[in-house]
Structure 1
Amino acid sequence: MSLKYIDILPSTSNKKPSILIVCLHGWGSNADDVASLFRFFQLPNCQFIFPNAPFSYASSPTGKQWYNLQPENMYDGLTESRQLLQDFLLSLASSTGVPLSQTILSGFSQGGAMTLDLGLKLPLAGLVSMSGYLHPGLLKQEVSNTLLKALIMHGKQDEVVPLAAAIQAKVTLQSLGVAVEYHEFDMGHEIRPSMLKLFQNFVISAVQETMSQNI
Protein backbone atom coordinates (compact mmCIF):
# COMPACT_ATOMS: atom_id res chain seq x y z
CA MET A 1 0.00 0.00 0.00
CA SER A 2 1.27 3.49 -0.89
CA LEU A 3 -0.21 6.95 -0.42
CA LYS A 4 -1.82 8.74 -3.35
CA TYR A 5 -1.36 12.50 -3.35
CA ILE A 6 -1.84 15.83 -5.10
CA ASP A 7 1.40 17.62 -5.99
CA ILE A 8 1.42 21.38 -6.67
CA LEU A 9 4.74 22.68 -7.94
CA PRO A 10 6.06 26.21 -7.27
CA SER A 11 4.79 28.88 -9.65
CA THR A 12 8.42 29.90 -10.05
CA SER A 13 9.02 26.63 -11.89
CA ASN A 14 12.52 27.62 -12.98
CA LYS A 15 13.70 27.41 -9.37
CA LYS A 16 14.09 24.58 -6.90
CA PRO A 17 11.47 24.85 -4.14
CA SER A 18 12.75 26.65 -1.06
CA ILE A 19 10.36 24.72 1.20
CA LEU A 20 8.21 21.61 0.77
CA ILE A 21 4.84 21.77 2.57
CA VAL A 22 2.95 18.52 3.23
CA CYS A 23 -0.69 18.99 4.30
CA LEU A 24 -2.71 16.17 5.92
CA HIS A 25 -6.51 16.17 5.82
CA GLY A 26 -8.84 15.32 8.68
CA TRP A 27 -11.11 12.37 9.44
CA GLY A 28 -13.56 11.71 6.63
CA SER A 29 -12.08 14.38 4.36
CA ASN A 30 -9.61 13.93 1.50
CA ALA A 31 -6.66 15.52 -0.26
CA ASP A 32 -8.88 17.52 -2.63
CA ASP A 33 -10.56 19.27 0.29
CA VAL A 34 -7.27 20.46 1.77
CA ALA A 35 -5.78 21.29 -1.64
CA SER A 36 -8.65 23.76 -2.19
CA LEU A 37 -6.97 25.99 0.41
CA PHE A 38 -3.87 26.36 -1.75
CA ARG A 39 -5.16 29.53 -3.43
CA PHE A 40 -5.04 31.35 -0.07
CA PHE A 41 -1.28 30.92 0.22
CA GLN A 42 1.10 33.39 -1.41
CA LEU A 43 4.15 31.19 -1.35
CA PRO A 44 5.38 30.99 -4.97
CA ASN A 45 8.67 29.35 -4.05
CA CYS A 46 7.08 26.46 -2.14
CA GLN A 47 5.94 23.06 -3.33
CA PHE A 48 2.76 21.64 -1.79
CA ILE A 49 1.89 17.97 -1.39
CA PHE A 50 -1.54 16.79 -0.23
CA PRO A 51 -1.65 13.03 0.47
CA ASN A 52 -4.79 10.94 0.87
CA ALA A 53 -5.08 8.82 3.99
CA PRO A 54 -4.93 5.09 3.17
CA PHE A 55 -8.26 3.94 4.62
CA SER A 56 -11.81 4.46 3.37
CA TYR A 57 -14.31 6.36 5.49
CA ALA A 58 -17.55 4.45 5.92
CA SER A 59 -19.85 7.49 5.96
CA SER A 60 -18.68 8.97 2.66
CA PRO A 61 -17.67 7.36 -0.67
CA THR A 62 -14.96 10.01 -1.18
CA GLY A 63 -13.83 10.33 2.44
CA LYS A 64 -10.60 8.93 3.85
CA GLN A 65 -9.24 8.32 7.34
CA TRP A 66 -5.82 7.85 8.86
CA TYR A 67 -7.40 5.55 11.44
CA ASN A 68 -10.78 4.71 12.94
CA LEU A 69 -12.29 7.02 15.53
CA GLN A 70 -15.42 5.01 16.28
CA PRO A 71 -15.44 4.08 20.01
CA GLU A 72 -15.55 0.34 19.32
CA ASN A 73 -12.54 0.48 16.97
CA MET A 74 -10.66 3.51 18.27
CA TYR A 75 -7.23 4.00 16.66
CA ASP A 76 -7.55 0.95 14.39
CA GLY A 77 -5.18 1.63 11.46
CA LEU A 78 -2.93 4.08 13.30
CA THR A 79 0.11 1.78 13.26
CA GLU A 80 -0.25 1.17 9.52
CA SER A 81 -0.82 4.85 8.70
CA ARG A 82 2.09 5.90 10.87
CA GLN A 83 4.47 3.61 8.94
CA LEU A 84 3.03 4.52 5.53
CA LEU A 85 3.28 8.23 6.22
CA GLN A 86 6.80 7.96 7.60
CA ASP A 87 7.95 6.03 4.53
CA PHE A 88 6.19 8.58 2.31
CA LEU A 89 7.87 11.54 4.00
CA LEU A 90 11.28 9.88 3.84
CA SER A 91 10.81 9.26 0.11
CA LEU A 92 10.04 12.90 -0.73
CA ALA A 93 13.66 14.07 -0.59
CA SER A 94 14.54 11.95 -3.60
CA SER A 95 11.36 12.67 -5.56
CA THR A 96 11.27 16.45 -4.95
CA GLY A 97 14.91 17.30 -4.31
CA VAL A 98 13.93 19.00 -1.04
CA PRO A 99 15.44 17.49 2.14
CA LEU A 100 13.42 16.90 5.33
CA SER A 101 15.25 19.84 6.91
CA GLN A 102 13.35 22.06 4.43
CA THR A 103 10.01 20.27 4.78
CA ILE A 104 7.06 21.46 6.88
CA LEU A 105 4.45 18.90 7.92
CA SER A 106 0.97 20.22 8.63
CA GLY A 107 -2.52 18.91 9.19
CA PHE A 108 -6.08 19.60 10.29
CA SER A 109 -7.86 17.66 13.06
CA GLN A 110 -6.87 13.98 12.64
CA GLY A 111 -4.25 15.21 10.17
CA GLY A 112 -2.97 17.54 12.89
CA ALA A 113 -2.68 14.56 15.24
CA MET A 114 -0.68 12.66 12.61
CA THR A 115 1.49 15.75 12.13
CA LEU A 116 2.35 15.93 15.83
CA ASP A 117 2.92 12.17 15.93
CA LEU A 118 5.26 11.77 12.95
CA GLY A 119 6.74 15.24 13.10
CA LEU A 120 8.44 14.64 16.43
CA LYS A 121 10.31 11.64 15.04
CA LEU A 122 11.74 13.25 11.89
CA PRO A 123 14.25 16.10 11.28
CA LEU A 124 11.69 18.47 9.77
CA ALA A 125 11.80 22.26 9.44
CA GLY A 126 8.55 22.69 11.34
CA LEU A 127 5.08 21.42 12.23
CA VAL A 128 1.67 23.07 11.87
CA SER A 129 -1.32 21.62 13.74
CA MET A 130 -4.78 23.09 13.09
CA SER A 131 -7.50 21.81 15.46
CA GLY A 132 -5.28 18.81 16.21
CA TYR A 133 -4.44 16.72 19.25
CA LEU A 134 -1.82 14.37 20.63
CA HIS A 135 -2.05 10.61 20.37
CA PRO A 136 -1.74 8.80 23.72
CA GLY A 137 1.66 7.68 24.97
CA LEU A 138 4.01 10.34 23.59
CA LEU A 139 7.55 9.67 24.79
CA LYS A 140 10.43 12.11 25.16
CA GLN A 141 12.67 9.72 23.24
CA GLU A 142 10.49 10.28 20.17
CA VAL A 143 11.73 13.86 19.75
CA SER A 144 14.73 13.58 17.45
CA ASN A 145 15.00 17.25 16.45
CA THR A 146 15.88 19.58 19.33
CA LEU A 147 15.58 22.62 17.02
CA LEU A 148 12.04 21.75 15.96
CA LYS A 149 9.42 24.52 15.78
CA ALA A 150 5.66 24.07 15.86
CA LEU A 151 2.64 26.25 15.16
CA ILE A 152 -0.55 25.18 16.98
CA MET A 153 -3.90 26.84 16.15
CA HIS A 154 -7.28 25.95 17.62
CA GLY A 155 -10.83 27.23 18.00
CA LYS A 156 -12.06 28.18 21.46
CA GLN A 157 -15.50 26.78 20.63
CA ASP A 158 -14.28 23.61 18.91
CA GLU A 159 -17.03 21.03 19.46
CA VAL A 160 -15.09 18.14 17.88
CA VAL A 161 -11.61 18.46 19.37
CA PRO A 162 -11.86 20.45 22.63
CA LEU A 163 -9.54 23.40 23.21
CA ALA A 164 -8.01 21.46 26.10
CA ALA A 165 -6.39 19.14 23.54
CA ALA A 166 -4.51 22.06 21.98
CA ILE A 167 -3.40 23.32 25.38
CA GLN A 168 -2.17 19.84 26.29
CA ALA A 169 -0.26 19.62 23.00
CA LYS A 170 1.35 23.02 23.60
CA VAL A 171 2.43 22.18 27.15
CA THR A 172 3.68 18.72 26.19
CA LEU A 173 5.70 19.90 23.20
CA GLN A 174 7.24 22.73 25.19
CA SER A 175 8.26 20.25 27.89
CA LEU A 176 10.01 18.25 25.18
CA GLY A 177 12.02 21.26 24.05
CA VAL A 178 9.94 22.18 21.00
CA ALA A 179 9.58 25.92 20.29
CA VAL A 180 5.79 26.38 20.11
CA GLU A 181 3.87 29.29 18.60
CA TYR A 182 0.29 29.02 19.91
CA HIS A 183 -2.93 30.78 18.86
CA GLU A 184 -6.59 30.47 19.87
CA PHE A 185 -9.49 31.74 17.74
CA ASP A 186 -13.15 32.54 18.40
CA MET A 187 -14.46 29.72 16.20
CA GLY A 188 -15.35 26.05 16.11
CA HIS A 189 -13.78 23.09 14.28
CA GLU A 190 -12.71 24.85 11.10
CA ILE A 191 -9.99 26.64 9.17
CA ARG A 192 -10.19 30.39 8.65
CA PRO A 193 -8.10 32.79 6.52
CA SER A 194 -6.53 34.33 9.63
CA MET A 195 -5.08 30.90 10.45
CA LEU A 196 -3.64 30.54 6.96
CA LYS A 197 -1.98 33.94 7.28
CA LEU A 198 -0.19 32.74 10.43
CA PHE A 199 0.68 29.52 8.57
CA GLN A 200 2.14 31.59 5.74
CA ASN A 201 4.23 33.69 8.14
CA PHE A 202 5.48 30.50 9.83
CA VAL A 203 6.62 29.14 6.45
CA ILE A 204 8.30 32.43 5.48
CA SER A 205 10.23 32.36 8.75
CA ALA A 206 11.29 28.77 8.05
CA VAL A 207 12.45 29.78 4.55
CA GLN A 208 14.51 32.64 5.97
CA GLU A 209 16.13 30.34 8.53
CA THR A 210 16.94 27.79 5.83
CA MET A 211 18.53 30.47 3.63
CA SER A 212 20.63 31.82 6.52
CA GLN A 213 21.88 28.33 7.35
CA ASN A 214 22.95 27.78 3.73
CA ILE A 215 24.93 30.99 3.48
Structure 2
Amino acid sequence: MTNTLEFISVPPKTGQPPKGLIVTLHGWGANAEDVASLSRFFNLPDYQFLFPNAPFPHPNSSVGRAWYDLRMENMYQGLVESRQQLTDWLQSLEKSTGVPLSRTILSGFSQGGAMTLDVGLKLPLAGLISLSGYLHQDVKSVKTQNVASLPPVMIMHGRQDTVVPLQAAVSARKFLESLGAAVEYYEFDMGHEIRPEMLELLRNFVIVNA
Protein backbone atom coordinates (compact mmCIF):
# COMPACT_ATOMS: atom_id res chain seq x y z
CA MET A 1 0.00 0.00 0.00
CA THR A 2 1.34 3.44 -0.92
CA ASN A 3 1.19 6.54 1.25
CA THR A 4 -0.60 8.53 -1.42
CA LEU A 5 -2.69 7.70 -4.46
CA GLU A 6 -1.03 7.39 -7.84
CA PHE A 7 -3.20 8.78 -10.61
CA ILE A 8 -3.49 9.62 -14.29
CA SER A 9 -4.30 13.23 -15.15
CA VAL A 10 -5.86 14.29 -18.45
CA PRO A 11 -5.79 18.10 -18.79
CA PRO A 12 -8.46 20.14 -20.61
CA LYS A 13 -8.19 19.91 -24.39
CA THR A 14 -8.71 23.67 -24.61
CA GLY A 15 -5.34 24.39 -23.03
CA GLN A 16 -7.11 26.68 -20.56
CA PRO A 17 -7.45 26.28 -16.77
CA PRO A 18 -10.03 23.57 -16.04
CA LYS A 19 -13.65 24.57 -15.58
CA GLY A 20 -13.96 21.66 -13.16
CA LEU A 21 -12.53 18.30 -12.18
CA ILE A 22 -13.93 14.87 -12.94
CA VAL A 23 -12.50 12.13 -10.75
CA THR A 24 -13.30 8.55 -11.76
CA LEU A 25 -12.62 5.51 -9.56
CA HIS A 26 -12.07 2.11 -11.14
CA GLY A 27 -13.60 -1.14 -9.96
CA TRP A 28 -12.13 -4.19 -8.20
CA GLY A 29 -9.33 -5.73 -10.22
CA ALA A 30 -9.18 -2.90 -12.76
CA ASN A 31 -6.83 0.10 -12.67
CA ALA A 32 -6.60 3.78 -13.56
CA GLU A 33 -5.66 3.05 -17.18
CA ASP A 34 -8.88 1.10 -17.71
CA VAL A 35 -11.12 4.05 -16.89
CA ALA A 36 -8.76 6.70 -18.29
CA SER A 37 -9.44 5.28 -21.75
CA LEU A 38 -13.03 6.53 -21.41
CA SER A 39 -12.09 10.22 -21.11
CA ARG A 40 -12.05 10.81 -24.88
CA PHE A 41 -15.69 9.73 -25.10
CA PHE A 42 -17.00 12.21 -22.52
CA ASN A 43 -16.81 15.23 -24.86
CA LEU A 44 -15.96 17.61 -22.01
CA PRO A 45 -12.96 19.55 -23.34
CA ASP A 46 -13.11 22.23 -20.62
CA TYR A 47 -12.60 19.76 -17.76
CA GLN A 48 -9.62 18.03 -16.23
CA PHE A 49 -9.93 14.27 -15.62
CA LEU A 50 -8.22 12.46 -12.78
CA PHE A 51 -8.07 8.67 -12.52
CA PRO A 52 -6.51 7.39 -9.28
CA ASN A 53 -5.25 3.88 -8.71
CA ALA A 54 -6.65 2.13 -5.65
CA PRO A 55 -3.98 1.64 -2.98
CA PHE A 56 -4.04 -2.16 -2.74
CA PRO A 57 -2.86 -4.79 -5.25
CA HIS A 58 -5.56 -7.15 -6.47
CA PRO A 59 -5.06 -10.68 -5.07
CA ASN A 60 -5.45 -12.37 -8.45
CA SER A 61 -3.98 -9.85 -10.90
CA SER A 62 -0.49 -8.47 -11.40
CA VAL A 63 -1.85 -5.17 -12.78
CA GLY A 64 -5.26 -4.90 -11.08
CA ARG A 65 -5.87 -2.77 -8.01
CA ALA A 66 -8.40 -2.90 -5.18
CA TRP A 67 -9.97 -0.35 -2.84
CA TYR A 68 -10.49 -3.23 -0.40
CA ASP A 69 -10.76 -7.01 -0.43
CA LEU A 70 -13.95 -8.63 -1.68
CA ARG A 71 -13.02 -12.24 -0.95
CA MET A 72 -15.28 -13.80 1.67
CA GLU A 73 -12.45 -14.55 4.09
CA ASN A 74 -11.21 -10.93 4.01
CA MET A 75 -14.40 -9.05 3.12
CA TYR A 76 -13.98 -5.25 3.34
CA GLN A 77 -10.40 -5.52 4.60
CA GLY A 78 -8.65 -2.27 3.65
CA LEU A 79 -11.80 -0.15 3.42
CA VAL A 80 -10.90 2.08 6.37
CA GLU A 81 -7.45 2.81 4.93
CA SER A 82 -8.74 3.46 1.40
CA ARG A 83 -11.53 5.68 2.71
CA GLN A 84 -9.00 7.89 4.52
CA GLN A 85 -6.50 7.97 1.65
CA LEU A 86 -9.14 8.87 -0.90
CA THR A 87 -10.55 11.59 1.35
CA ASP A 88 -7.12 13.11 1.97
CA TRP A 89 -6.26 12.97 -1.73
CA LEU A 90 -9.52 14.62 -2.79
CA GLN A 91 -9.00 17.39 -0.25
CA SER A 92 -5.52 18.02 -1.65
CA LEU A 93 -6.71 18.57 -5.22
CA GLU A 94 -7.61 22.25 -4.87
CA LYS A 95 -4.02 23.06 -3.96
CA SER A 96 -2.59 21.10 -6.90
CA THR A 97 -5.18 22.01 -9.55
CA GLY A 98 -6.71 25.29 -8.39
CA VAL A 99 -10.18 23.75 -8.60
CA PRO A 100 -12.24 23.55 -5.37
CA LEU A 101 -14.30 20.53 -4.34
CA SER A 102 -17.41 22.57 -5.15
CA ARG A 103 -16.47 22.16 -8.84
CA THR A 104 -15.31 18.55 -8.57
CA ILE A 105 -17.42 15.57 -9.64
CA LEU A 106 -16.58 12.23 -8.03
CA SER A 107 -17.61 9.18 -10.03
CA GLY A 108 -16.87 5.48 -10.00
CA PHE A 109 -17.68 2.07 -11.47
CA SER A 110 -18.66 -0.95 -9.33
CA GLN A 111 -16.37 -0.93 -6.26
CA GLY A 112 -15.35 2.56 -7.36
CA GLY A 113 -19.03 3.52 -7.31
CA ALA A 114 -19.30 2.25 -3.75
CA MET A 115 -16.27 4.33 -2.74
CA THR A 116 -17.85 7.34 -4.47
CA LEU A 117 -21.04 7.08 -2.42
CA ASP A 118 -19.11 6.36 0.78
CA VAL A 119 -16.53 9.17 0.70
CA GLY A 120 -18.52 11.61 -1.44
CA LEU A 121 -21.40 12.02 0.99
CA LYS A 122 -19.00 13.51 3.54
CA LEU A 123 -17.39 16.11 1.27
CA PRO A 124 -18.73 19.35 -0.30
CA LEU A 125 -18.44 18.03 -3.87
CA ALA A 126 -20.31 19.27 -6.94
CA GLY A 127 -21.85 15.86 -7.56
CA LEU A 128 -21.51 12.08 -7.28
CA ILE A 129 -21.95 9.48 -10.02
CA SER A 130 -22.27 5.76 -9.25
CA LEU A 131 -22.05 3.40 -12.22
CA SER A 132 -23.07 -0.18 -11.31
CA GLY A 133 -22.19 0.64 -7.69
CA TYR A 134 -23.58 -0.11 -4.25
CA LEU A 135 -23.64 1.14 -0.67
CA HIS A 136 -21.17 -0.16 1.89
CA GLN A 137 -22.80 -1.96 4.78
CA ASP A 138 -21.74 0.66 7.32
CA VAL A 139 -22.64 3.78 5.32
CA LYS A 140 -26.09 4.08 6.87
CA SER A 141 -24.54 4.29 10.34
CA VAL A 142 -21.95 6.88 9.33
CA LYS A 143 -22.91 10.49 9.99
CA THR A 144 -22.91 12.43 6.73
CA GLN A 145 -22.45 16.14 6.39
CA ASN A 146 -25.33 18.59 6.75
CA VAL A 147 -28.23 17.22 4.70
CA ALA A 148 -28.90 20.63 3.18
CA SER A 149 -25.50 20.52 1.49
CA LEU A 150 -25.44 16.92 0.22
CA PRO A 151 -24.18 16.82 -3.36
CA PRO A 152 -26.57 15.76 -6.13
CA VAL A 153 -26.20 12.10 -7.08
CA MET A 154 -26.56 10.18 -10.33
CA ILE A 155 -27.04 6.40 -10.18
CA MET A 156 -26.90 4.22 -13.31
CA HIS A 157 -27.24 0.45 -13.28
CA GLY A 158 -27.95 -2.52 -15.54
CA ARG A 159 -31.08 -4.58 -15.03
CA GLN A 160 -29.18 -7.75 -15.98
CA ASP A 161 -26.17 -7.04 -13.74
CA THR A 162 -25.11 -10.35 -12.16
CA VAL A 163 -22.06 -8.90 -10.37
CA VAL A 164 -23.83 -6.11 -8.48
CA PRO A 165 -27.58 -6.85 -8.61
CA LEU A 166 -30.00 -4.07 -9.53
CA GLN A 167 -31.42 -4.12 -6.00
CA ALA A 168 -28.18 -2.50 -4.81
CA ALA A 169 -28.95 0.55 -6.92
CA VAL A 170 -32.57 0.64 -5.77
CA SER A 171 -31.47 0.50 -2.13
CA ALA A 172 -28.90 3.25 -2.67
CA ARG A 173 -31.52 5.45 -4.29
CA LYS A 174 -33.98 4.98 -1.43
CA PHE A 175 -31.33 5.68 1.22
CA LEU A 176 -30.02 8.81 -0.49
CA GLU A 177 -33.50 10.17 -1.04
CA SER A 178 -34.27 9.55 2.63
CA LEU A 179 -31.33 11.85 3.44
CA GLY A 180 -32.81 14.53 1.20
CA ALA A 181 -30.27 14.18 -1.60
CA ALA A 182 -31.30 15.02 -5.17
CA VAL A 183 -30.97 11.72 -7.07
CA GLU A 184 -31.06 11.08 -10.80
CA TYR A 185 -31.67 7.37 -11.32
CA TYR A 186 -31.39 5.35 -14.55
CA GLU A 187 -31.72 1.65 -15.39
CA PHE A 188 -30.48 0.07 -18.61
CA ASP A 189 -31.01 -3.27 -20.34
CA MET A 190 -27.44 -4.42 -19.83
CA GLY A 191 -25.11 -6.26 -17.46
CA HIS A 192 -22.13 -5.05 -15.41
CA GLU A 193 -20.74 -2.57 -17.93
CA ILE A 194 -20.58 0.99 -19.21
CA ARG A 195 -22.50 1.91 -22.36
CA PRO A 196 -22.19 5.03 -24.60
CA GLU A 197 -25.68 6.24 -23.65
CA MET A 198 -24.53 6.37 -20.02
CA LEU A 199 -21.67 8.70 -20.93
CA GLU A 200 -24.07 11.19 -22.51
CA LEU A 201 -26.11 11.32 -19.31
CA LEU A 202 -22.90 11.69 -17.33
CA ARG A 203 -21.83 14.56 -19.55
CA ASN A 204 -25.08 16.43 -19.00
CA PHE A 205 -24.86 15.88 -15.23
CA VAL A 206 -21.35 17.34 -15.16
CA ILE A 207 -22.30 20.41 -17.21
CA VAL A 208 -25.25 21.18 -14.94
CA ASN A 209 -23.47 20.64 -11.63
CA ALA A 210 -19.76 21.43 -11.99
Same fold (TM over 0.5): yes
Deviation at 1:196, TM superposition (A): 0.6
CA distance in 2: counterparts of 1:58 and 1:73, whole angstroms: 11
Taking the TM superposition and a 5 Å limit, the aligned residue runs for 1:183-194 are 183-194=186-197
CA distance in 2: counterparts of 1:203 and 1:39, whole angstroms: 15
Is residue 109–residue 130 contact of structure 1 (8 Å, CA) maintained in 2?
A: yes
> Secondary structure of 1:141's match?
coil
Which residue number in structure 1 is paired with residue 165 of structure 2?
162
Which residue number in structure 1 is paired with residue 124 of structure 2?
123
Taking the TM superposition and a 5 Å limit, the aligned residue runs for 1:14-163 are 15-137=16-138, 138-139=140-141, 141-144=143-146, 146-147=148-149, 148-163=151-166
Is residue 128–residue 153 contact of structure 2 (8 Å, CA) maintained in 1?
A: yes
TM-score (norm 1): 0.94
Deviation at 1:145, TM superposition (A): 5.6
TM-score (norm 2): 0.96
CA distance in 2: counterparts of 1:54 and 1:141, whole angstroms: 25
Is residue 147–residue 180 contact of structure 2 (8 Å, CA) maintained in 1?
A: no
> Secondary structure of 1:165's match?
helix
> Secondary structure of 2:143's match?
helix
Count of equivalent residues: 206
Q: Deviations over 1:100-157 (max 9, x none)?
A: 0000000000000000000000000000000000001223731346241000000000
Is residue 147–residue 179 contact of structure 2 (8 Å, CA) maintained in 1?
A: no
CA distance in 2: counterparts of 1:11 and 1:146, whole angstroms: 34
Indicate which of 206, 209, 212 corresponds to 2:209: 206
CA distance in 1: counterparts of 2:77 and 2:147, whole angstroms: 28
Unpaired segments ≥5 residues, structure 2: none
CA distance in 2: counterparts of 1:179 and 1:83, whole angstroms: 25
> Secondary structure of 1:184's match?
strand
Which residue number in structure 2 is paired with residue 9 of structure 1?
11
Deviation at 1:28, TM superposition (A): 0.2
Is residue 122–residue 145 contact of structure 1 (8 Å, CA) maintained in 2?
A: no
Percent identity of equivalent pairs: 62
Moved more, 169-178 or 130-139: 130-139
CA distance in 2: counterparts of 1:144 and 1:80, whole angstroms: 24
Is residue 56–residue 63 contact of structure 1 (8 Å, CA) maintained in 2?
A: yes
Alignment RMSD (CA, Å)? 1.0
CA distance in 1: counterparts of 2:35 and 2:146, whole angstroms: 28
CA distance in 2: counterparts of 1:142 and 1:179, whole angstroms: 15
Deviation at 1:17, TM superposition (A): 1.0
